[in-house]
Amino acid sequence: MADAPPRWLRPVAASLGALGVLAGAFGAHALRDRLAPDLMNAWETAADYGLLHAVVLLSLSAWEPAFRSNRARPWLISACYLFLMGILLFSGSLFALVLTGVGGLGLITPFGGTALILAWILLVRTGLIRLDKDTGA
């Protein structure tokens, strides 16, 4: 259905939310006494950012008027993909860095952060579109 959010958005957002909670709990209970403070901080940052942006994705899945808008829809879908890519690259690279000790994985993290920033900018752009003037097919 062209006027609805993509079908993948809600289940992926909910799954990322669950992973964020699991990662936070794993860090607090299984890793806290095993990691140096800087690595523990990286783990917590990854869990926090992943969970926060999963909630954003879930919220976007309910923004039906923007998905119905011919002008807003491409901006909103692009923002969703950037949020997803940002979570995977930012949080994923930090989790991998902490678990493997491969410092080079930290080079991926800024790309995830950049994707998250761009997603927020696209939401600003989407929010400036007058949805009441452009709804329907």
Match 């607090």 to its residue by tokens.
28
Share of the chain above pLDDT 90, in %: 83
Q: What is the pLDDT of residues 120-135, one digit of tens each?
A: 999 999 999 887 666 5
Is 120 within the bounds of a domain?
yes
108 falls within a domain? yes
Expressed as residue numbers, the domain containing 114 is 9-130
Residue 137 within any structural domain of the chain: no
**Count of positions (residues) in the chain:** 137
d(CA 111, CA 86): 7
What would the pLDDT profile of 41-88 be if each residue is shown by its tens digit? 999 999 999 999 999 999 999 988 888 888 999 999 999 999 999 999
Residue 77 lies in a domain: yes
Q: Could you give phi then psi for residue 84, rounded to 5 degrees?
A: -60, -50
Does residue 136 sit within a domain?
no
- Which amino acid appears at position 52 of this protein? L
| Residue 90 located in a structural domain | yes
Residues 96-113, mean pLDDT to the nearest whole number: 97
**1 within domain boundaries:** no
Q: Is residue 93 part of a domain?
A: yes
Report d(CA 137, CA 55) in Å as an integer: 28
Closest CA to 27 of 17, 14, 37, 16: 37
Q: How many domains does the chain have?
A: 1
